[in-house]
């Protein structure tokens, strides 16, 4: 079996998540840098989104699907808990982070600081102030969730924790 190839940009948070899965599990992989919409990405993902995976004659798109495949196909610490309830909680948190928190924190709040579109190039206070209540609510939820064990699910590091990086 060859090394899995992870294709995507290092600037992509979801590409980084998949590469972190490889690191946590000790999977020797080939990271291939590619820009959004590159032909090698479109060859695997119907909408040209990253990351994508190529492993021998198997291809896969979508970061959660890739992470699940890597977790189940390779030895190393399980990142998706095996007992059904803990696996469901891991899925719950990965969904919440990907669909609710990522758009708020990574796609709105952080870019308002780092990639401001204001005329003076300063942080976009209007965007920041508009999203700040949601940011506080979501960070408080995460703080509460990890308060007991330091992890989102059970007492071990999972894919849900990786998504929070």
pLDDT digits (tens, 9 = 90+) for 57-70: 999 999 999 999 99
Give the pLDDT confidence score for residue 123 in this predicted structure: 92
pLDDT of 82 above 90: no
Across the range 113-121, mean pLDDT stands at 85
- Measured CA to CA, the distance from residue 39 to residue 94 in angstroms comes to 28
pLDDT of 165 above 80: no
User: Residue 69 in contact with residue 76, Cβ under 8 Å?
Assistant: no
Give the pLDDT confidence score for residue 100 in this predicted structure: 95
Give the pLDDT confidence score for residue 25 in this predicted structure: 97
Across the range 123-151, mean pLDDT stands at 96
pLDDT of 93 above 80: yes
Q: Which phi and psi (to 5°) does residue 76 adopt?
A: 120, 180
Domains and CATH numbers, the chain: 5-73 (3.40.30.10), 84-163 (1.20.1050.10)
Give the residue, 116 or 131, on which the prediction is more confident: 131
Q: Would you list the DSSP string of 102-132? A: IIIIIIIIHHHHHT--STT-S--HHHHHHHH
Alpha helix ranges (H) inside the chain: 13-25, 39-42, 63-73, 84-96, 110-114, 125-146, 159-163
pLDDT of 141 above 80: yes
Is 10 strand, coil or helix? coil
- Measured CA to CA, the distance from residue 112 to residue 78 in angstroms comes to 36
Close Cβ partners of 36 (under 8 Å, ≥ 6 residues apart):
9, 12, 48, 49, 50
Give the pLDDT confidence score for residue 103 in this predicted structure: 94
Q: pLDDT digit string (tens) for 125-138?
A: 999 999 999 999 99
Distances (CA, A) of 19 to 51, 60, 111, 153, 154: 9, 14, 22, 21, 23
User: Residue 118 in contact with residue 124, Cβ under 8 Å?
Assistant: yes
Eight-state DSSP code of residue 75: -
The H or E element containing residue 79 is none
Give the pLDDT confidence score for residue 114 in this predicted structure: 85
């Amino acid at each position: 079996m060859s090394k899995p190839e992870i294709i995507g940009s290092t600037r992509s948070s979801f590409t980084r998540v998949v590469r972190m899965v490889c690191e946590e599990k000790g999977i020797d992989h080939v990271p291939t840098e590619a820009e959004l919409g590159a032909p090698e990405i479109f060859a695997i993902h119907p909408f040209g989104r990253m990351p994508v995976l190529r492993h021998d004659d198997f291809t896969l798109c979508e970061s959660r699907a890739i992470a699940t495949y890597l977790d189940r196909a390779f030895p190393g610490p399980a990142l998706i808990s095996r007992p059904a309830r803990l696996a469901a909680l891991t899925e719950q948190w990965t969904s919440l982070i990907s669909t609710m928190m990522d758009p708020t924190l990574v796609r709105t709040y952080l870019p308002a600081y780092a990639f401001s579109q204001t005329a003076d190039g300063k942080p976009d206070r209007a965007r920041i102030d508009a999203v700040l209540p949601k940011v506080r609510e979501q960070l408080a939820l995460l703080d509460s969730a990890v308060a007991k064990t330091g992890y989102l699910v059970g007492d071990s590091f999972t894919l849900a924790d990786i998504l929070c990086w």
